[in-house]
A = this chain, B = another copy of it.
Amino acid sequence: MDKTYIEVEEAAHTMKLLGDRTRLTLLGLLYSGECCVCELVEVLQMSQPSISQHLKKLRDARLVKEKKKGQWVFYSLNTSHETYPIVHQVLKQIPDQKEKLRALEDKGLRIQCD
């Protein structure tokens, strides 16, 4: 079995996670840099538990990494995931989510750390 390929089962699992508008947008946001949960909630205009539950799925699949900083939890893409090449290809082809983060910044809601 040629291991340069991603197995069908695993690829399908990743695709399933990308197959939801909310999660795909979350990943698109993280594609332009790490974000904390409250920013994601603000941008997506969805309930905090809903966003947290989506993040849990992405975390369980190890598609995203988390980093705690004080009261915040910052999420970022796990670029060393076996299926990241696919994720990357997909994210490259959807609209850039950066401007949504810029809009957040304008409202003074962007979380700075370090």
Number of copies: 2
Q: Considering the chains assembled together, what is the distance between the CA atoms of A6 and B18 in angstroms?
A: 14
Closest to A95 in B: B5
Once A8-B24, A17-B19 are accepted as A-B contacts, the answer to whether A86 and B95 lie under 8 Å apart by CB is: no
Q: Is A73 on the interface with B (CB-CB < 8 A)?
A: no
- Shortest Cβ gap from A15 to chain B (Å): 4
Once bound together, how far apart are the Cα atoms of A11 and B11, in whole Å?
A: 16
- Complex Cα distance, B8 from A94, in Å, reads 6
- Of the candidates A20, A21, A96, the one having the most CB atoms from chain B within 10 angstroms of its own CB is A21
- 8 A-B pairs with least C-beta separation: A16-B19, A15-B19, A89-B89, A15-B18, A19-B19, A5-B95, A12-B21, A12-B24
